[in-house]
Chains A and B, each alone.
Chain A
């Protein structure tokens, strides 16, 4: 490189270009990571196919895929917005990626925007794939797509807040363990594949307040039963979103 190569000419790229580049990179990192794909694609797909084909859990009247598909969509949102985001962000914090980016021209809010966009892109890919599989298995969804969209967005906000709270406060290893444990517990106890009414009454009222229960039950109300808009579930998700994002904003540590 010749003389004058390094002559200073500083400047930040335009914000939309920075956010687009950051979103693309975050999404590539996520899709390249095998463990993440296991969580976000393979497990939901396997559960959907397995539990639709084999009557392991009594899912009530009607085709089991009509019960399962909304729950699996809720699980997909949780796997990306909560589990995947918590683990990835936890390790980015641990390995100084967040620290290094904080010294780059990319503002912090733009980094968080890019992370959210990357989560949304991944969710779109998941939903397209899982919907196609569910339809092939004989799923016949009902209801208003806009209600579904609103629930998915609220669910994403709620899970992102909780995932970032975990990633920004715990050690990366603790986040890894806790995020996987929570994923497993909520998979079983959150109305994803096991109907909530299989649990004792007292447990049901508590479990119903979990974000994944609110999302899966809300989606089921619309997609299985044709409800217009399940406001109670939407409200629960909104409260989780406010609490989670608020706490993450307050307690998140970048290093």
Chain B
């Protein structure tokens, strides 16, 4: 499936009145991959996604989805693309299974509705109408509606917002199953762990632009260095430790007996530290390697916390 990208956004600009929501954004989504659009509230995630879905007309730039123009070719595109809106989208008086069955009827080869209801834990909605469902049930119904038509590409706008941890895991599993079966997935999120756990590709956006992109590993490696921590006897001679470490590494004792080694933390560095400890008769306790997270990347790039 290594052919042209399923989504290609170039120089997208979208303004609402005097406010610029998206400001020259580029995005490429690979076929068959899970791509996360990550950013704080108001960064332009939803506007970008909704432009790809054909809801908004770009003020500048081009958007191609499955090689088509989402506005001009909407009729051809809609059966091939699954959409999960951030909220709503269901008749307030409709039952979950009723709405899902209805969406299935609009497609030529839908999934088995009963199996999907079972899979997403919607069976316990029973005869309850949409407005009385819990937030989590509403989210799961919306997700089911996005996939029931067996699309090639799904757009999920904050698919796990408001879900409890168990439902969140279950949604993650579904996203992985979609990818395994060859469905391309674009999701927006402001949860770092979600992007790290699910995405093959992450585009971090802030103030309407992509400020970094790559796999979670690339992004986490690209920023500041990782950290190794341990505790031991206070007042160790850190000068001799730093000499033993590769160039560019550092060592500090922020609190008496608490040590922090910064640098490119790899197995070799860990071995160097422990053998240095052995030579100095130090028993290092609580050794931990702190992996650099997307959260740190975001903080470094923007100077802001991600959670708005």
Contacts and interface: CB of A to CB of B under 8 A. Distances in A.
Contact of A25 (B102, B111, B145, B183): B102
Contacts of B115: 1, 5
B181 A7 contact: yes
A103 B53 CA distance: 7
Nearest to B147: A6
A237 B177 CA distance: 56
Contacts of A11: 79, 107-109, 149
Contact of B152 (A8, A12, A91, A103): A8
A153 interface: no
Contacts of B111: 5-6
A5 B177 CA distance: 9
Contacts of A226: none
B91 A97 contact: yes
A6 B91 contact: no
B138 to A, nearest CB: 11
Contact of A91 (B92, B107, B119, B177): B92
B148 to A, nearest CB: 10
A161 B144 CA distance: 34
Interface stretch (B38-46, B81-89, B191-199, B215-223): B81-89
A236 B54 CA distance: 39
Contact of A95 (B90, B103, B145, B177): B90
Interface in A93-136: 95-97, 99-100, 102-107
A38 interface: no
B45 to A, nearest CB: 17
Residue among B145, B149, B178, B183 with the highest chain A CB neighbour number at 10 A: B149
A89 B194 CA distance: 36
A95 B88 contact: yes
B150 interface: yes
Contacts of B183: 6-8
Interface residues of A, number: 36
B75 interface: yes
A211 to B, nearest CB: 28
Contacts of B98: 25, 28
Contact of B178 (A6, A28, A91, A92): A6
B90 A100 contact: yes
A18 interface: yes
B132 interface: no
A100 B85 contact: yes
Contacts of B108: 9-14
B151 interface: yes
A156 B94 CA distance: 26
Contacts of A255: 55
B182 interface: yes
B180 interface: yes
B291 interface: no
B80 interface: yes
Interface in A59-96: 91-92, 95-96
Given A17-B105, A105-B107, A106-B106, 19 more contacts: A4-B181, A6-B147, A6-B177, A7-B182, A10-B107, A10-B108, A10-B150, A11-B109, A12-B78, A12-B79, A22-B106, A25-B94, A25-B98, A28-B98, A92-B91, A96-B85, A99-B88, A104-B78, A104-B103
Interface of A: 1, 3-14, 17-18, 21-22, 25, 28-29, 32-33, 91-92, 95-97, 99-100, 102-107, 255
25 contacts: A1-B177, A4-B181, A5-B111, A5-B177, A6-B181, A7-B150, A7-B182, A8-B80, A8-B150, A8-B152, A11-B79, A11-B108, A13-B108, A21-B102, A22-B102, A92-B91, A96-B85, A97-B91, A99-B88, A100-B145, A102-B55, A103-B55, A103-B83, A104-B106, A106-B106
